[in-house]
Amino acid sequence: MLNSNLTIGFIGAGNMATALIEGLIRTGVAPSRLYASHRRNEPLLSLASQGVHTTTDNTAVAAACDIVVLAVKPQVLGEVLPALREVLGARPRLLISIAAGVQLHTLQEWSGPAQAIVRCMPNTPALVQAGASGLYANAAVSAEQKQQATAIMAAVGLVCWLEQERQLDAVTALSGSGPAYFFLMMEAMEAAGTALGLSAAVARRLCLQTAFGAAKLALESNLEPSELRHRVTSPGGTTAAALQTFEQGGYRELVARALSAAAARAAELAAAAK
């Protein structure tokens, strides 16, 4: 858990940083231990009103904090992080980068060779405290710092540690991009429900609640998703008719191809990110 003296700073107070800060406050972290910087003052006002230290000076946040979360877009991190190198080198601290595709060796080159760095791939449901994050640490990260990174990311959802950095490409393909796959399924089901005679509003409400209910049931059950599926599929029934159509259309292969394409693209972007 987070030692109550640790200070935590966020560079780039956008959507993800704000979700993390609000999640941490919700879990009981005192706002006075939290720092956030942004290149403009306006996005900081709401955080300041909650008691978070805010500034337009990234260096001030890096200097003040034991843990620094890099939450700017990947394309600006190459300017932002080297500018913090000197202050980061002044004393040991933990860096957590949520910038998609920026690899550890690049983060290390920009921030200094001895930095303890955790790379993290979150997803957008973090904005409603239902995120899923994959984390990978470099060799300089201690067991205690791993716990600290876990506590920070757990403020907005599930945390999974990885054994290899390249598994972050698979995490990107599965949970990073994953919400969009379910949104596509929702769009398609809503359209199909409307075509079958429901109003768009009723089709949407039923579809969203079904997606939520299926995920909640799968999360809370100790049965495999395949067993849950079997239990709602009577031979010759309505669910069987639909599932047979999915299988005949190559649904599983299509999903496998889609995730492979996303993972390959994540690897390409990571290689080009420097």
Ligand X SMILES: NC(=O)c1ccc[n+]([C@@H]2O[C@H](COP(=O)([O-])OP(=O)(O)OC[C@H]3O[C@@H](n4cnc5c(N)ncnc54)[C@H](OP(=O)(O)O)[C@@H]3O)[C@@H](O)[C@H]2O)c1
Positions in the binding site for ligand X (CB under 6 A): 11-12, 14-17, 37-40, 43, 58, 71-74, 76, 80, 98-100, 121-124, 176
Nearer to ligand X, 117 or 203 (CB): 117
Nearer to ligand X, 25 or 98 (CB): 98
Q: Give least dist CB 81 to ligand X, A.
A: 10
Q: Give least dist CB 164 to ligand X, A.
A: 19
Q: Give least dist CB 172 to ligand X, A.
A: 8
Nearer to ligand X, 9 or 74 (CB): 74
Nearer to ligand X, 20 or 203 (CB): 20
Instruction: Give the C-alpha separation, 81 to 75, whole Å.
Output: 11
Among residues 176, 118, 171, which one has the least CA distance to residue 149?
118
Residue 2 to residues 11, 76, 121, 140, 160, Cα–Cα distance (Å): 19, 29, 20, 19, 18
Nearer to ligand X, 84 or 203 (CB): 84
Given a contact cutoff of 8 angstroms between Cβ atoms, the answer to whether 36 and 17 are in contact is yes
Residue type, 248: Q
Instruction: Give the C-alpha separation, 89 to 189, whole Å.
Output: 53
Q: Give least dist CB 74 to ligand X, A.
A: 5
Q: Give least dist CB 224 to ligand X, A.
A: 28
The residue with its CB nearest to ligand X is 14
Interstrand relation of 131-137 and 116-121 (parallel, antiparallel or unpaired): antiparallel
Q: Give least dist CB 112 to ligand X, A.
A: 19
Instruction: Give the C-alpha separation, 148 to 208, whole Å.
Output: 34
Radius of gyration of the chain (CA): 21
Nearer to ligand X, 60 or 140 (CB): 60
Among residues 22, 184, 143, 85, which one has the least CA distance to residue 8?
22
Contacts of 139 (CB under 8 A, 6+ apart): none
Nearer to ligand X, 94 or 98 (CB): 98
Q: Give least dist CB 32 to ligand X, A.
A: 21
Given a contact cutoff of 8 angstroms between Cβ atoms, the answer to whether 152 and 103 are in contact is no
